Amino acid sequence: MQERPTPELYKQAAELVQDPDAAAEEWEIVAAAEARARRVQEQERAARERERAVRREAEERERAERREAQERERAERREAEERERAETRERSVHQARVEKAQKLAPAVRGALKKAVREQRTTTWSEIQQKTGLHQLSRLDHQDKVELLVLVESDTDPGNPLRSALLAAAGDGAALRLHRDVSHRLSLDPPSDSRAVDEQSRRGAC
């Protein structure tokens, strides 16, 4: 019993020492066994508590990881939805620009061809006055890029762009517009206003 004070042995010892004739040594053995049994129980209880704590910590970590994964998934879904909405808006805006350009392109192309024949530069204001297209005054930079790209769609490769006549007659914004149009058409953009002037002279010849 001193080596392995199991509950059953302790019970037997307790019954034994109830005998009035039990010796003091037997009482001490029982007391020591009881103390060891309590220590064993405390150790087992502590071990169980540690196991429960480890399980709780693992479960809490798993829940936290699950929450983080769900948050990441929701964030990624929101970002994907926002990208899709932004792309939809962009496509809608681009489609509106294209439709607007398609309506204006024939008249603007005709005005630029006329300026080429007359060997002169022109301006947006002049084209508006001569064509009666009041919408031209409401075009922003991207609208004008889309319009001139469409206007130049029938320009023979190697020939200068007719829209150079607009840039030569304009300011820094007109030069930037001409560069953007050249870029959209996969052409080398003019380096400065002198290069635009040269293009406009070639286009007006």
Phi, psi at residue 136, to the nearest 5°?
-60, -30
Give the model's pLDDT for residue 101.
93
Q: Alpha helices, DSSP H only, in 18-152?
A: 24-117, 124-131, 141-151
From the number of C-beta atoms within 10 Å of its C-beta (0-12, 13-18, 19+), residue 149 rates as buried
- Distance CA(133)–CA(59), nearest Å, equals 71
CB 105 within 8 A of CB 148: no
Q: State pLDDT tens for residues 23-41.
A: 667 667 767 777 888 888 8
What are the CA-CA distances from residue 42 to residues 7, 37, 48, 86, 129 (Å)? 14, 8, 10, 64, 100
Give the model's confidence band at 204: pLDDT under 50 very low, under 70 low, under 90 confident, else very high: very low
CB 183 within 8 A of CB 144: no
* Least confident range of 76-90, 99-113, 180-194: 180-194
What are the CA-CA distances from residue 195 to residues 59, 167, 181, 192 (Å)? 71, 10, 15, 5
Q: State pLDDT tens for residues 164-180.
A: 888 776 678 888 898 89
* Least confident range of 52-61, 77-86, 155-164: 155-164
pLDDT-above-70 percentage for the chain: 78
- The residue written with tokens 């769900």 in the block is 70
Give the model's pLDDT for residue 23.
66
> Is the pLDDT at 105 greater than 70, yes or no?
yes
- Distance CA(78)–CA(75), nearest Å, equals 5
Q: State pLDDT tens for residues 126-153.
A: 999 999 999 999 999 999 999 999 999 8
> Is the pLDDT at 14 greater than 70, yes or no?
no
Residue 183 has a CB neighbour count (10 Å cut-off) of 13
